[in-house]
Structure 1
Amino acid sequence: MTTSSQPRPRVAITLGDPAGVGPELIAKLLSRPENTGAADIVLVSDPEELRSAGEDAGVAIEYGDAGSGLPVLYDNGAARPAGSEGGFERRAATEAGGRWALANLAVALDMAKDGRVDAILFAPLNKSSLHLAGMTENDELRWFEEVLGVESFTSELNVLPGLWTARVTSHVSIADVHSGITRDNVVEAGLLLDQVLRGSGLDSPRIGVCALNPHAGESGRFGRHEIDVIGPAVADLAGQGLDVKGPFPSDTIFLRARSGEFDGVLTMYHDQGQIAMKLMGFDGGVTIAGGLPVPICTPAHGTAFDVVGRGVANTGSVQNAFDLAVSIGGRRSVDA
């Protein structure tokens, strides 16, 4: 929460894929005065998308001019699809939906590059829609890197209240995971997790590191990554002053984390952390793009085509994502 002496963070918000639950989630989020009062919000969209989102959510999205205390609408300048009065096909991955989502995100990223916003929140995307629209990168994080000109290490981090995870590898085939587990990559991912945890307000984060193999390799019987790669990387991180331990078997490390032993867990591949985090808090999880010059947050769930327009989409994750964007964005605005 900002104070009278602390500037309000400036947060750009996009509504995600128009075929999914994102628009109605953002409408519900912005219907709460405590949210619109927590930040200077820029909605990258157009009036028709906001009207449709409000209808699905059963609320009206209010917006006004800068200084009004209401979210400000910044039109993305993109053309709506021809036919059906410019509407989007619902509950399906489409090229038109992907183009619209990318156009909104491109504007938000331009605002971040120009220093006009301190953080970005985007509602769920659909990767099939993005690829139909021409995105060649495996995921939106790699696209963010390209647009922002980032060449350093980045990683998606997943967040539940009291616990963060980062990954050494992410959206790659399981068959290719082992080649991405290098000593340098583990160190970079660990440093990034520590940095982002500190940026969230923790002075001395406690990090646990996952093994790659069952039973942490069992002294080399099931593989040597723990001996030759991960263990030495943990020692490197400890030598740089991090409070880090491991590698620990992945089937028990999250029990220790849930009990409060760790603030963050460094995983070796996507599902190693995602399965545990979604079991512990599917309706509240947040994904943040780590290693970028601006915090970019989103709910950790997908577009949920099966519940679009039914009024049952849970706002827990989008609320947590907004709160995180406001919190980290607020710290960045003060530091600036």
Structure 2
Amino acid sequence: MKPLIAVLLGDPAGIGPELIARLVAKPENRARADLLIVGDKRELDKGMEIAQQRFDYRLVDNVDAAARDTDMPSLIDFRLPDDAPYERAVSTERGGRYSLEAFKQALVMTRANRTQAMLFAPVNKTSLHMAGMETNDEMEWFARQLDFSGAFCEFNVLDELWTSRVTSHIALKDVSAKLTQERVVGAVQLIHDGLKRAGVDKPRIAVCGFNPHNGDNGAFGREEIDVIAPAVEHACAQGYDAQGPFPADTIFVRARDQKVFDGVVTMYHDQGQIAMKLMGFWRGVTVHGGLPVPITTPAHGTAFDIHGQGRADVGATQKAFDIAVRMAQDRLS
């Protein structure tokens, strides 16, 4: 039996509907999973027009009516109550509200395992905040909606290489104070479990240092000596295949070229993001790791500057779909 994936169009002001049209139009994608699109029918049709891709779909009222074991996707025609046109290529409260309400529907279905995973096209954080999202990002918002109080982390994925981070959306001046052995070990555990759910049998994990040249034996800071190295030892003692700390300016070259690691744990947001996006911006994926349901999305944004031009690259959305399918199959098993 194929898994059922909830697919969201993202912010209507951006390239999301075009990306989903390109993704779903591929017969091989429809053959791998049953697809339940949650979004405004007019936006999906517009996305197909922009992408110059067409496919048939079945209109349904709820998840129970979704087509199963067929190559035809289903669509829940979700619209805001005011049903007004969306502004394009700009952040708006309505675009954010549309995204949040679609999230809510998909989370309910996926939490109940009616859909086994959730894939969403890019959303706009400014729009989300304009619509009332009080958390720093959608991942924290997901955790609240799911009443989840455990550890979670944003994974960034490029092809077969995954990254997690000990800190995320905080100022650089605050990072050092947030680095603890417990948090580093927790990041190792999270990425290990995420990789396992995505089909990696024995994840190999590298851990970055924090300071230039890995601190140079304490000359440029002691975080490596006092926090990170002991945390790696603790992770290994718990049975995780973790190594480090490694200098952040070389570990990604080694991971990419020698392929000796499946995941890299970084200490702060841009330490991993810059490397991953330079290596493959249009292939990068975000996985919302640690949450009780699989959620993936392309790592790039809404690309307002190319909305409606028919040249959005579906590469990262395809990769996000691939991971969502693997994680959904894991839930089925």
TM-score between the two structures when normalised by the length of structure 1: 0.94
User: Is 2:301 the counterpart of 1:302?
Assistant: yes
Residue in 1 that maps onto 2:128: 130
- Deviation per CA, 1:171-227, whole angstroms, max 9, x where unpaired? 111111112211111111100111111122222111110001111111111111111
Distance 1:101 1:291 in 2: 22
Residue in 1 that maps onto 2:192: 194
Distance 2:55 2:130 in 1: 29
Q: Secondary structure at the match of 2:319?
A: helix
The question of whether the paired residues in 2 share the 8 Å contact of 1:39 and 1:326 is answered with yes
Query: Cα distance, 1:129 vs. partner?
Result: 0.4
How many residue pairs match? The answer is 324
User: Is 2:103 the counterpart of 1:70?
Assistant: no
Distance 1:201 1:312 in 2: 32
User: Is 2:41 the counterpart of 1:47?
Assistant: yes
Residue in 2 that maps onto 1:291: 290
Distance 1:90 1:74 in 2: 22
Residue in 2 that maps onto 1:204: 202
TM-score between the two structures when normalised by the length of structure 2: 0.95
Residue in 1 that maps onto 2:63: none
The question of whether the paired residues in 2 share the 8 Å contact of 1:9 and 1:333 is answered with yes
The question of whether the paired residues in 2 share the 8 Å contact of 1:156 and 1:287 is answered with yes
Query: Cα distance, 1:79 vs. partner?
Result: 2.1
User: Is 2:6 the counterpart of 1:12?
Assistant: yes
Q: Secondary structure at the match of 2:155?
A: strand
1:106/1:61 CA distance change after superposition, 3 Å: farther
User: Is 2:35 the counterpart of 1:34?
Assistant: no
Residue in 2 that maps onto 1:4: none
The question of whether the paired residues in 2 share the 8 Å contact of 1:13 and 1:120 is answered with yes
Distance 2:283 2:271 in 1: 18
Gaps of 5+ in 2: 59-65
Gaps of 5+ in 1: 1-6
User: Is 2:236 the counterpart of 1:242?
Assistant: no
Residue in 2 that maps onto 1:218: 216
Residue in 1 that maps onto 2:166: 168
Query: Cα distance, 1:13 vs. partner?
Result: 0.5
Query: Cα distance, 1:59 vs. partner?
Result: 2.2
- Deviation per CA, 1:68-121, whole angstroms, max 9, x where unpaired? 54111123353245xxxx211110000000000111111000101222111000
The question of whether the paired residues in 2 share the 8 Å contact of 1:209 and 1:248 is answered with yes
Among all aligned residue pairs of Structure 1 and Structure 2, give the percentage whose two residues are the same amino acid. 52
Residue in 2 that maps onto 1:254: 252
Q: Secondary structure at the match of 1:73?
A: strand
> Structure 1 stretches (4+) deviating beyond 6 angstroms?
none
Query: Cα distance, 1:131 vs. partner?
Result: 0.2
